[in-house]
Structure 1
Amino acid sequence: MAGSAVAAGPAGHWDIGLYGNLFGAREYQVWVPAGYDDTQPLPLLLVLHGCVTGPNLMGEASGFNDVADTEGFIVVYPRQNVTSNPARCWNWQLPINQARDSGEPSLLAGIVEKVKAAYSVDPHRVYVTGISAGGAMTSIMLGCYSDVFAAGAIHSGGMFKGATTISGSAYALLAGSIYSPDSNGRLAWQCSGSPSPRPLPVLVFHGSADLTVNPVNGQQAVRQFLQTNDLADDGMDNDSVKYVPTSTYHGQVPGGRAYTVDTYAYGGRTLVQHYVVQGMGHAWSGSQSGLPFTDPKGPDATLITWLFLKDYQR
């Protein structure tokens, strides 16, 4: 019976929840991984979908649930309300959603806390990722809740406070933010109450041919989080963390796309990593799902994201 010992414990499954506070309410879905045992605390990954999608499609496009079953972590997918945004985009460009304990960030942080209370979660290993509008919201969650998240990954998104109006967000998507990544790096550090020291390891993923979110937004996110980390290491803006890669790697997916990886290390640890996938548009890289906004020819962003995040503890 070669396969008899493979699937110990229950299969992975969806649970559905609802969280609300003064700023409204949001549904969310939890992927409880195969073999879940409530005596064993597991890492938690918050995944923020892009526009015109939701938890099920985001789960299918990314394949995070399969990785969770293998690696053993809980995945949480909040759902944006159509009443809050007709296209179901997270409203990352509104000032109410760019602060701690306010707007959508307060709802997302509340969902995380509710899931931590309901399941066996390792509070030192809570992570966040998202794509597009969800990627921009990931920057906000990292900046404003650096005491909650140990690390994060921004896919085809932008930096913290890349825009502060609807019209400004349209410009940022087209041509990059008008704001200084260095100034916004300080704002992100201050959003959690200027804690020190509290590093924020970040992975940034972007396609070089992204016509929806200009790739310069990825570059700005890298620089912004390097500035945030420069402040986080000793409370001073002294360029201790430099905007110069400590290493650059050129990769090639067999039969697929070329990509470059710039790594920014400090104190022997990777703080920021920047993947640029050549010729890829606005898409989740490496997804074999065939869904819109996915690209099967890029490197496997899902596995790369998890392997990056899992190394860090808060």
Structure 2
Amino acid sequence: MSVTRNVGALCRAVVGLCALFGVLGASQAQAGSWVHGIYSGNGGTRSYQLWVPTGYQPGERLPLVVGLHGCLQNPDQFAGLARLNEKADQEKFLVLYPNQAMLANGTQCWNFMFSINQERGGLEPSVIVGMVDWVKGHYTVDERRVYVGGVSAGAVMSTILLACYSDVFTAGMVGAGAMYKAATTASGSLFAMKFGSIYSPDDRGYDAWACSGKPRRKVPVLVVHGTADDVVNPINGTQTVRQFLQTNDYGDDGANNNSVSNSPTQTYSATSPGGRKYTVRNYVTGGVLLVQQYEIEGMGHAWPGGNSAYPFADPAGPDGTTIMWDFFKQHSR
């Protein structure tokens, strides 16, 4: 079930009133505005924020982007860091920001490191997908264009959602994150962050495909990582690329036969207006850009081109939000 609130503290105090305001808020939400809510399901209870873009008209079918914040962040901070609402206003899409509860993790990290959250129907993934279903039930969402992207812990949760719910998410973005099941324990996650996963990306590629039921479906993924990331070793970005190439190899025709090549079809380098050099590797199969990797020279654990008023920003980098949306809008189920 979902309870939506637009009235802050009053809603928190009176759950029944929240539900009333939720129904009204969903049907009468003003363009360019926040809708706040609480979702409860079998996986637990989490709050969320939904950005309804400027010019939204009820009944208008729009894409939906799920934005997952990192540790020590909340939806407001991630939205401000990435300037994602501004992009949504320009390009006309809805943005859902699930919020990790401090009671679930004191640093507000998504608990991607525990096996209970690494499977279809897992606790936190099922809550996020339940929020997506709530948005679909109250707004006119183009189900062919539902995307997920995040930074750091939010990026790792994105890999889980892309692996286990490829029927829900059309494409995704992994920013300063790690591959699916890079580790299955808290201590293992700390090791993977520092040195890279001990597991084979090819094996995890199969596991990711299996988590969605071994579908004949490909999962386009954008991977962005800084070469100077001292929180999540950049090798994790390379492993994520390889894992999703393998997942797509299986998803292409159900077999491990290199029908999706693990060699880039195009590689080029450029420099951002802020002076950051970066390398892009494109992996195209059948004319479709399935995997794209941005490797940003000298960038630490950050969102490229982010707003410097917020932590984890690298203003000198290329515009990560534009890169993400430009990748997403190429893909429709």
Q: TM-score, with normalisation over the residues of structure 2?
A: 0.90
Q: CA RMSD in A?
A: 1.0
Q: Give the Å deviation of 1:255.
A: 4.0
Distance in 2 separating the partners of 1:20 and 1:140: 20
The residue aligned with 1:170 is 190
Deviation digits for residues 271-297 of structure 1 (CA, Å, limit 9, x no counterpart): 000000000000000013431110000
Q: Deviations over 1:161-185 (max 9, x none)?
A: 0110010000000000011000000
The residue number in structure 2 matching 1:6 is: none
Does residue 92 (structure 1) correspond to residue 109 (structure 2)? The answer is no
Structure 2 partner of 1:220 = 239
Letter in 2 for 1:312: H
Per the TM alignment, residue 40 of structure 1 is displaced from its structure 2 partner at its CA by 1.0
Residues 48 and 129 in structure 1, CA contact (< 8 A), matched pair in contact too: yes
Structure 2 distance, partners of 1:289, 1:250, is 25
Conservation of the 8 A alpha-carbon contact between 1:61 and 1:291: yes
Give the counterpart of 1:253 among 269, 272, 281.
Answer: 272
Residue 27 of structure 1 corresponds to which residue in structure 2?
A: 47
The structure 2 residue matched to 1:180, chosen from 200, 215, 219, is 200
> What is the CA–CA distance in structure 2 between the aligned matches of 1:73 and 1:254, rounded to whole Å?
26
2:30 touches 2:52 (CA, 8 Å); kept in 1?
no
Of 208, 212, 230 in structure 2, the residue corresponding to residue 192 of structure 1 is 212
Distance 1:154 1:255 in 2: 22
Deviation per CA, 1:95-154, whole angstroms, max 9, x where unpaired? 000001121000011010011111111111000000000000000000000001110000
Partner of 1:77: 97
Please give the per-residue CA displacement for 1:62-102, whole angstroms capped at 9, x wherever unaligned.
Answer: 00100000100000000001111110000111000000112
Distance 1:135 1:299 in 2: 18
Which residue, 274, 281, 284 being the options, matches 2:303?
284
Secondary structure of residue in 1 paired with 2:264: coil
Tell me which of 161, 167, 170 is aligned to 1:147: 167
The residue aligned with 2:318 is 299
For residue 243 of structure 1, give the secondary structure of its aligned residue in structure 2: coil
2:83 corresponds in structure 1 to 63
Distance 2:43 2:242 in 1: 31
Is this contact kept in 2: 1:128–1:149, CA < 8 A? yes
Q: Which residue identity lines up with residue 261 of structure 1 in the other structure?
A: V
Letter in 2 for 1:69: D
The answer on whether the counterparts of 1:60 and 1:289 sit within 8 Å (CA) in structure 2 is no
The answer (yes or no) to whether the contact 1:131–1:156 under 8 Å persists in 2 is yes
Q: Are the counterparts in 1 of residues 274 and 315 from structure 2 also a CA contact under 8 Å?
A: no
Give the aligned residue type for 1:40: E
With normalisation by structure 1, the TM-score equals: 0.96
Q: Which amino acid aligns with 1:303?
A: T
Tell me, yes or no, if structure 1 residue 237 matches structure 2 residue 237. no
Measure, in 2, the Cα distance between the counterparts of 1:53 and 1:288.
Answer: 14
Unmatched segments (≥5 aa) in structure 2: 1-28
Letter in 1 for 2:63: P
User: C-alpha offsets along residues 36-57 of structure 1, whole Å, 9 cap, x if unaligned?
Assistant: 1112110000000000110000
* Structure 2 Cα separation of the partners of residues 46 and 167 of structure 1: 28
- Match of 2:323, SS state, is helix
The letter for the 1-side match of 2:289 is: T
Q: Map Cα deviations across residues 186-227 of structure 1 (whole Å, 9 max, x no partner).
A: 00000011111x110000000000000000000000000000
Question: Following TM superposition, by how much is the alpha carbon of 1:11 offset from its aligned partner in structure 2, in angstroms?
Answer: 4.0
CA contact 1:18–1:25 (8 Å) conserved in 2:
yes
AA matched with 2:131: I
**CA offset at residue 10 of structure 1?**
5.3
Are 1:135 and 2:155 matched, yes or no? yes
Query: Whole-Å Cα distance in 2 between the matches of residues 126 and 188 of structure 1?
Result: 19
> Contact 2:59–2:139 (CA<8 Å) still a contact in 1?
no
State the SS of the aligned residue for 1:210.
coil
CA distance in 2, matches of 1:289, 1:109: 31
Q: By how many angstroms is 1:249 displaced?
A: 1.1
Aligned length: 305
2:279 maps to a residue whose letter is T
Runs of 4+ in 1 over 6 A off after TM superposition: none
In 1, are the aligned partners of 2:146 and 2:170 still within 8 Å (CA)?
yes
